[in-house]
Amino acid sequence: MKLGFIGLGAMGRPMVEHLLAAGHEVGVWARDATKAASIGALGAGIAETPVQLGSQADVVFTNVTGSADVEAIALGENGLIHGMKPGSVLVDFSTIAASTARYIAARLAQKGVHMLDAPVSGGSVGAHAASLSIMVGGDAAVLERVRPLLNVLGKTIVHVGGNGAGQVAKACNQMVMVAAIQACAEAASLAAASGVDFARVREAMLAGSAGSRVLDVFGGRMAERNFTAGVEARLHHKDYAILMAEAASLPAPLPLPVAAQVWQQLNALMAQGWGRDDTAALLKVLESAHA
């Protein structure tokens, strides 16, 4: 199969590198010509527009920021829909609204093009290590066609359900993860206010029932007061905006009291101008409130 890829950022580029290393023919398109040229030097073809890329590929992957970005790339004036052939597949790794994923899938289906919403978890570290968790919504038979490609990029591939189900799974993932980051921030704040070293507290917690990857990674950044972005907080803010809006739009609006409080903390973080910091900066939000 000929492959296309759009979205050459911190996660997209290593994903393309893995596909190239596995011997696949990959074409790319990027708004930033420098990024395209850089990956082109490794053997990827470079398309002038998404429609051109779509016309050349059996499977196109996208990994961009938000719902509007994916919709424009897929359905816009020079979008993939105008080039992709019947039977071809769009696999979207982005984190977007489930409703948007369903809408794009329905529009593509009118042209005989399949879509899988396949958001990923694991961040840039997981992308580099090809150890991503991939949550897939769409037709199971279509997933089986592209599963060998996904196996190049991730270790865990779960078919969650129909179109949009992958995005629901990612929303649930982000809801639990960022709430845990907020809990770590509150634990660090309580330890400091009590005159106890949070680094020692964290060490004890990691060996107990509160031990988790979030406490290890994000709690570690808090203990070291290292807020350099591993994951930029603005991206988690974007994800929370999506999940809160989707929850509010359900036929019976769903109360999410913990998520609502975390959302407010993320809003405060953004208001402080810390969106480019790591989400561990939720600790600084608590500290600023008590300064």
Mean pLDDT for 269-288 is 97
- DSSP reduced 3-state for 29: strand
Q: Could you tell me what percent of the chain has a pLDDT over 70?
A: 100
Give, for 24, the enclosing helix (H) or strand (E): none
- CB neighbours of 166 closer than 8 A, spacing ≥ 6? 101, 116, 117, 118, 119, 135, 136, 137, 138, 160
The string of pLDDT tens digits covering residues 94-137 is 999 999 999 999 999 999 999 999 999 998 899 999 999 999 99
Per residue in 184-235, pLDDT (tens digit) is 999 999 999 999 999 999 999 999 999 999 999 999 999 999 999 888 999 9
**What are the structural domains, with CATH classification, of the chain?**
2-162 (3.40.50.720), 168-289 (1.10.1040.10)
Coil vs helix vs strand at 148: helix
Average pLDDT over residues 225-252: 92
Query: Does 155 participate in catalysis according to the annotation?
Result: no
Task: Band the pLDDT of 55: cuts 50, 70, 90.
Answer: very high
Which of 11-25, 161-175, 209-223, 249-263 comes out lowest in average pLDDT? 249-263
Amino acid at 126: G
Does position 163 have pLDDT exceeding 90, yes or no? yes
Nearest of 198, 178, 147, 153 to residue 240 by alpha carbon:
178
Kindly report the three-state secondary structure assignment for every residue of 90-129. EEECCCCCHHHHHHHHHHHHCCCCEEEECCEECHHHHHHH
When the pLDDT of each residue in the chain is averaged and rounded to a whole number, the result is 96
Could you give the percent of the chain with pLDDT greater than 90?
Answer: 92
Confidence class for position 291, pLDDT limits 50, 70, 90: low
pLDDT in the model for residue 252 = 83
Residues 6+ apart with CB under 8 A from 255: none
* φ, ψ at 162 (rounded to 5°): -75, -175
CA 270, distance to chain mean position in Å, is 19
Q: Judging by DSSP bridges, how do beta strands 120-121 and 132-137 pair with one another?
A: antiparallel
Q: Is the pLDDT of residue 71 over 90?
A: yes
Region of residue 122 (phi > 0: left; psi between -120 and 50: alpha; otherwise: beta): left
Q: What is the mean pLDDT of residues 171-177?
A: 96
Residues across the chain: 291
* Residue among 166, 174, 165 nearest 238 (CA): 174
pLDDT in tens, 20-39: 999 999 999 998 889 999 99
- Token digits of residue 173: 């993932």
What's the confidence (pLDDT) of residue 159? 98
Catalytic residue (one of 2, 111, 155, 170)? 170
- Local structure of residue 9 (DSSP, 8 states): S
